[in-house]
Amino acid sequence: MKLIVGLGNPGEKYAATRHNVGFHWLCRLAEQLRITFKSEVKFHGLCANVVFDNEQFWLLKPQTYMNASGMAVAALSRFYKISPDQLLVVHDELDLPPGTAKLKLGGGAGGHNGLKDIITRLATQDFWRLRIGVGHPGNKNEVVDYVLHPPRKEEALLIDDAIQRSLVIWPLIASGDYTAAMHKLHTKQKEL
Protein backbone atom coordinates (compact mmCIF):
# COMPACT_ATOMS: atom_id res chain seq x y z
CA MET A 1 0.00 0.00 0.00
CA LYS A 2 1.43 3.34 -1.04
CA LEU A 3 -1.55 5.68 -0.74
CA ILE A 4 -4.52 5.78 1.67
CA VAL A 5 -7.22 8.28 0.77
CA GLY A 6 -10.05 9.30 3.06
CA LEU A 7 -13.02 10.80 1.24
CA GLY A 8 -15.03 13.74 2.54
CA ASN A 9 -15.91 17.37 2.00
CA PRO A 10 -13.71 20.16 3.36
CA GLY A 11 -15.01 22.77 5.77
CA GLU A 12 -16.69 22.94 9.15
CA LYS A 13 -20.16 22.75 7.58
CA TYR A 14 -19.53 19.12 6.51
CA ALA A 15 -17.25 17.95 9.33
CA ALA A 16 -19.78 15.78 11.20
CA THR A 17 -21.69 14.47 8.17
CA ARG A 18 -22.02 10.85 7.08
CA HIS A 19 -20.14 11.68 3.86
CA ASN A 20 -17.02 12.55 5.88
CA VAL A 21 -16.46 9.10 7.37
CA GLY A 22 -13.31 8.70 5.23
CA PHE A 23 -11.86 11.92 6.67
CA HIS A 24 -12.65 10.71 10.22
CA TRP A 25 -10.93 7.37 9.60
CA LEU A 26 -7.81 9.02 8.21
CA CYS A 27 -7.65 11.56 11.05
CA ARG A 28 -7.80 8.72 13.58
CA LEU A 29 -4.98 6.92 11.79
CA ALA A 30 -2.91 10.13 11.77
CA GLU A 31 -3.49 10.49 15.53
CA GLN A 32 -2.30 6.91 16.11
CA LEU A 33 0.81 7.57 14.03
CA ARG A 34 1.33 10.99 15.67
CA ILE A 35 1.54 12.78 12.35
CA THR A 36 -0.08 15.92 11.01
CA PHE A 37 -1.42 16.76 7.59
CA LYS A 38 -0.13 19.68 5.57
CA SER A 39 -1.71 21.39 2.62
CA GLU A 40 -0.22 20.39 -0.75
CA VAL A 41 -1.59 22.61 -3.50
CA LYS A 42 -0.19 20.45 -6.31
CA PHE A 43 -2.08 17.45 -4.87
CA HIS A 44 -5.29 19.39 -4.16
CA GLY A 45 -5.42 18.13 -0.60
CA LEU A 46 -4.06 17.65 2.88
CA CYS A 47 -1.22 15.13 2.84
CA ALA A 48 1.05 13.29 5.22
CA ASN A 49 4.05 11.12 4.42
CA VAL A 50 4.39 8.08 6.67
CA VAL A 51 7.08 5.49 7.25
CA PHE A 52 5.79 2.31 8.89
CA ASP A 53 7.72 -0.98 9.11
CA ASN A 54 10.36 0.54 6.79
CA GLU A 55 7.71 1.19 4.14
CA GLN A 56 6.81 4.67 2.97
CA PHE A 57 3.26 5.65 2.07
CA TRP A 58 0.99 8.68 1.81
CA LEU A 59 -2.21 9.73 3.52
CA LEU A 60 -4.46 12.07 1.53
CA LYS A 61 -7.61 14.04 2.34
CA PRO A 62 -8.76 15.63 -0.95
CA GLN A 63 -9.88 19.26 -0.52
CA THR A 64 -11.71 19.44 -3.85
CA TYR A 65 -15.16 18.45 -2.50
CA MET A 66 -16.43 14.93 -2.93
CA ASN A 67 -17.44 15.10 -6.59
CA ALA A 68 -13.89 15.99 -7.68
CA SER A 69 -11.95 13.66 -5.32
CA GLY A 70 -10.26 11.99 -8.28
CA MET A 71 -8.34 15.17 -9.09
CA ALA A 72 -6.32 14.87 -5.87
CA VAL A 73 -5.96 11.07 -6.07
CA ALA A 74 -4.76 11.17 -9.69
CA ALA A 75 -2.33 14.04 -9.06
CA LEU A 76 -0.56 12.32 -6.14
CA SER A 77 -0.70 8.86 -7.75
CA ARG A 78 0.85 10.05 -10.99
CA PHE A 79 3.53 12.15 -9.31
CA TYR A 80 4.74 9.25 -7.13
CA LYS A 81 3.98 6.53 -9.72
CA ILE A 82 1.52 4.74 -7.43
CA SER A 83 -0.45 2.06 -9.24
CA PRO A 84 -4.18 1.62 -8.52
CA ASP A 85 -3.62 -1.70 -6.71
CA GLN A 86 -1.43 0.21 -4.20
CA LEU A 87 -4.32 2.57 -3.39
CA LEU A 88 -6.88 2.28 -0.58
CA VAL A 89 -9.91 4.61 -0.59
CA VAL A 90 -11.82 4.86 2.71
CA HIS A 91 -15.40 6.04 2.18
CA ASP A 92 -18.98 6.06 3.44
CA GLU A 93 -21.16 3.23 2.13
CA LEU A 94 -24.94 3.53 1.86
CA ASP A 95 -25.39 -0.19 1.14
CA LEU A 96 -23.94 -1.24 4.50
CA PRO A 97 -25.66 -0.61 7.84
CA PRO A 98 -23.95 1.57 10.46
CA GLY A 99 -21.45 -0.50 12.43
CA THR A 100 -20.25 -2.42 9.36
CA ALA A 101 -16.90 -2.11 7.61
CA LYS A 102 -15.87 -4.11 4.54
CA LEU A 103 -12.61 -4.27 2.60
CA LYS A 104 -12.66 -5.13 -1.08
CA LEU A 105 -10.73 -4.74 -4.32
CA GLY A 106 -12.47 -3.17 -7.31
CA GLY A 107 -16.12 -2.81 -8.11
CA GLY A 108 -18.29 -0.01 -9.40
CA ALA A 109 -19.02 3.36 -7.85
CA GLY A 110 -22.43 2.33 -6.51
CA GLY A 111 -23.69 5.87 -6.98
CA HIS A 112 -20.88 7.35 -4.85
CA ASN A 113 -19.72 10.49 -6.67
CA GLY A 114 -16.30 10.49 -5.02
CA LEU A 115 -15.60 6.95 -6.22
CA LYS A 116 -17.08 7.77 -9.62
CA ASP A 117 -14.60 10.63 -10.09
CA ILE A 118 -11.64 8.52 -8.93
CA ILE A 119 -12.60 5.72 -11.35
CA THR A 120 -12.92 8.23 -14.19
CA ARG A 121 -9.60 9.97 -13.52
CA LEU A 122 -7.62 6.75 -12.92
CA ALA A 123 -9.42 4.98 -15.81
CA THR A 124 -9.82 1.87 -13.65
CA GLN A 125 -11.99 0.43 -10.88
CA ASP A 126 -9.19 -1.82 -9.65
CA PHE A 127 -8.21 -0.14 -6.39
CA TRP A 128 -8.87 -1.16 -2.79
CA ARG A 129 -11.84 0.25 -0.87
CA LEU A 130 -12.58 0.28 2.83
CA ARG A 131 -16.33 0.79 2.99
CA ILE A 132 -17.71 2.16 6.26
CA GLY A 133 -21.46 1.61 6.53
CA VAL A 134 -23.68 4.63 7.14
CA GLY A 135 -26.97 3.01 6.16
CA HIS A 136 -29.51 4.14 3.57
CA PRO A 137 -32.40 6.58 4.06
CA GLY A 138 -34.74 4.15 2.28
CA ASN A 139 -35.56 6.50 -0.59
CA LYS A 140 -33.03 7.25 -3.34
CA ASN A 141 -34.37 10.82 -3.63
CA GLU A 142 -33.25 11.48 -0.03
CA VAL A 143 -29.67 10.22 -0.42
CA VAL A 144 -27.95 13.60 -1.00
CA ASP A 145 -29.62 15.19 2.02
CA TYR A 146 -28.93 12.07 4.09
CA VAL A 147 -25.16 11.89 3.47
CA LEU A 148 -24.75 15.65 3.98
CA HIS A 149 -26.19 15.48 7.50
CA PRO A 150 -24.75 14.03 10.72
CA PRO A 151 -25.87 10.54 11.73
CA ARG A 152 -28.27 10.10 14.65
CA LYS A 153 -26.55 9.49 17.99
CA GLU A 154 -27.06 5.70 17.97
CA GLU A 155 -25.81 5.52 14.34
CA ALA A 156 -22.78 7.68 15.20
CA LEU A 157 -21.79 5.22 17.94
CA LEU A 158 -22.04 2.28 15.52
CA ILE A 159 -20.07 4.13 12.82
CA ASP A 160 -17.40 5.04 15.36
CA ASP A 161 -17.16 1.39 16.38
CA ALA A 162 -16.71 0.33 12.73
CA ILE A 163 -13.95 2.92 12.33
CA GLN A 164 -12.18 1.63 15.45
CA ARG A 165 -12.42 -2.02 14.36
CA SER A 166 -11.17 -1.26 10.87
CA LEU A 167 -8.22 0.76 12.21
CA VAL A 168 -7.01 -2.37 13.99
CA ILE A 169 -6.36 -4.05 10.63
CA TRP A 170 -4.59 -1.16 8.92
CA PRO A 171 -1.07 -2.60 9.57
CA LEU A 172 -2.14 -5.71 7.61
CA ILE A 173 -3.39 -3.47 4.78
CA ALA A 174 -0.20 -1.38 4.85
CA SER A 175 1.91 -4.53 4.54
CA GLY A 176 -0.21 -5.84 1.64
CA ASP A 177 -1.72 -8.77 3.55
CA TYR A 178 -5.25 -8.09 2.31
CA THR A 179 -6.51 -11.63 2.79
CA ALA A 180 -5.65 -11.58 6.50
CA ALA A 181 -7.06 -8.03 6.82
CA MET A 182 -10.37 -9.04 5.23
CA HIS A 183 -10.59 -12.21 7.31
CA LYS A 184 -9.95 -10.36 10.57
CA LEU A 185 -12.30 -7.46 9.77
CA HIS A 186 -15.16 -9.49 8.35
CA THR A 187 -14.93 -12.23 11.02
CA LYS A 188 -15.01 -9.71 13.88
CA GLN A 189 -18.27 -8.28 12.55
CA LYS A 190 -19.91 -11.70 12.44
CA GLU A 191 -19.05 -12.21 16.12
CA LEU A 192 -20.88 -9.02 17.18
Burial class (CB in 10 A: 0-12, 13-18, 19+), 152: exposed
What's the CA gap between 169 and 186, in Å, rounded? 11
Give the residue numbers of the binding site for tRNA: 14, 65, 67, 113
44 catalytic? Reply is: no
Catalytic residue among 19, 24, 44, 112: 19
Give the residue numbers of the binding site: 14, 65, 67, 113
Which residues form the catalytic set?
19
